């Protein structure tokens, strides 16, 4: 698994996870705390999906400014 993003913003993580799932990828959200937003969580994908996932995330971030 490759870590794409680490943040304490649960909304961003869940939106990006949904985006990746909609694209047919297999993202994994790894949360280190029972309380979202308290401790950083990470969004990961299998190694062979990392390049496509990074492109999708970059496209979304570019579109949002």
Cβ atoms within 10 Å of 7's Cβ, excluding its own: 14
Residue holding tokens 């190694």? 47
Q: Mind listing the pLDDT tens digit for each residue in 4-55?
A: 999 988 889 999 999 999 999 999 999 876 676 678 899 999 999 999 999 9
pLDDT in the model for residue 18: 96
Choose among 31, 23, 26: nearest CA to 48. 26
Distance CA 32, CA 57 (A): 22
Q: Which domains are seen in the chain, by residue range?
A: 2-64 (3.30.70.790)
Are 32 and 41 a contacting pair, CB within 8 Å? yes
Please list, in sequence order, all residues whose beta carbon lies within 8 angstroms of the beta carbon of residue 20, skipping any fewer than 6 positions away. 26, 27, 43, 45, 53, 56, 57
């Amino acid at each position: 698994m490759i870590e794409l993003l680490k943040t304490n913003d649960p909304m961003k993580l869940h939106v990006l996870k949904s985006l990746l799932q909609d694209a047919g990828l297999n993202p994994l959200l790894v949360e280190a705390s029972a309380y979202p937003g308290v401790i950083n969580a990470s969004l990961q994908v299998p190694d062979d999906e990392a390049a496509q996932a990074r492109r999708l995330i970059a496209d979304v971030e570019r579109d949002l400014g």
